[in-house]
A and B are shown apart, each in its own frame.
Chain A
Amino acid sequence: AQKVTQAQTEISVVEKEDVTLDCVYETRDTTYYLFWYKQPPSGELVFLIRRNSFDEQNEISGRYSWNFQKSTSSFNFTITASQVVDSAVYFCALSEPQSLGDDKIIFGKGTRLHILP
Chain B
Amino acid sequence: DTGVSQDPRHKITKRGQNVTFRCDPISEHNRLYWYRQTLGQGPEFLTYFQNEAQLEKSRLLSDRFSAERPKGSFSTLEIQRTEQGDSAMYLCASSNHGPFGGRKAFFGQGTRLTVV
Contacts and interface: CB of A to CB of B under 8 A. Distances in A.
Given A106-B45, A107-B43, A109-B41, A45 B102 contact: no
B101 A104 contact: no
A107 B33 CA distance: 14
Interface stretch (A14-22, A64-72, A79-87, A91-99): A91-99
Interface in B76-90: 89
Nearest to B50: A100
B108 A44 contact: yes
Contacts of A107: 42-44
Chain B binding surface, main DSSP class: strand
Nearest to A54: B100
B41 A95 contact: no
Contacts of A91: 42-43
By Cβ-Cβ distance, the 8 closest A-B pairs, closest first, are A107-B42, A45-B107, A33-B102, A104-B45, A44-B109, A102-B56, A43-B110, A107-B43
B106 interface: yes
Nearest to A51: B102
Given A42-B109, A44-B108, A52 B100 contact: yes
Contacts of A33: 101-103
State which size class the interface on A falls in. Answer: 20 to 34
Interface string B92-116: 0100001011111111111010000
Given A31-B101, A50-B102, A105 B45 contact: yes
A109 B40 contact: yes
Contact of B109 (A37, A43, A101): A43
A46 B4 CA distance: 11
